[in-house]
Amino acid sequence: DAKTTQPTSMDCAEGRAANLPCNHSTISGNEYVYWYRQIHSQGPQYIIHGLKNNETNEMASLIITEDRKSSTLILPHATLRDTAVYYCIVRPLYGNKLVFGAGTILRVKS
């Protein structure tokens, strides 16, 4: 599975959009980009995934660059409860596991 690079930590003001970047320059054609988050020692939670088109759901939007070498997760109106570690993962759609890196610690501040 391709490797991803994320900033160690980010701060965001409550109510503002949180934009979390991820680099995956070695991504291959059959690999999807997945985002998960882990809120303070709880079980990881799926957020969104995509292949090459931008995706949006009730939680977030995923913007993938045309060359697929990077992506951005957007939380449109961050709340204090969005404070968590956010993981960007690439894997084939039917890959047999997720490999978690260090992720980005997002701190939402009032």
Q: Which residues are at the interface with other proteins (CB under 8 A)?
A: 32, 34, 38, 41-46, 49, 91, 93-103
Residue 15: CB partners within 8 Å, gap ≥ 6?
77, 78, 79
- Closest distance between other proteins and the C-beta of residue 85, in Å? 8
- The DSSP code for 43 is P
Smaller CB separation from other proteins, 42 or 110: 42
As a whole number of Å, the end-to-end CA separation of the chain is 37
- Closest distance between other proteins and the C-beta of residue 89, in Å? 10
- Closest distance between other proteins and the C-beta of residue 56, in Å? 16
Residue 17 CA to residue 64 CA, distance in Å, equals: 17
Smaller CB separation from other proteins, 41 or 110: 41
CA-nearest of 47, 46, 50, 51 to 30 is: 51
In the structure encoding, which two tokens stand for residue 92, read together? 């084939």
Smaller CB separation from other proteins, 36 or 108: 36
- Closest distance between other proteins and the C-beta of residue 105, in Å? 11
Smaller CB separation from other proteins, 78 or 91: 91
In the structure encoding, which two tokens stand for residue 70, read together? 């990077």
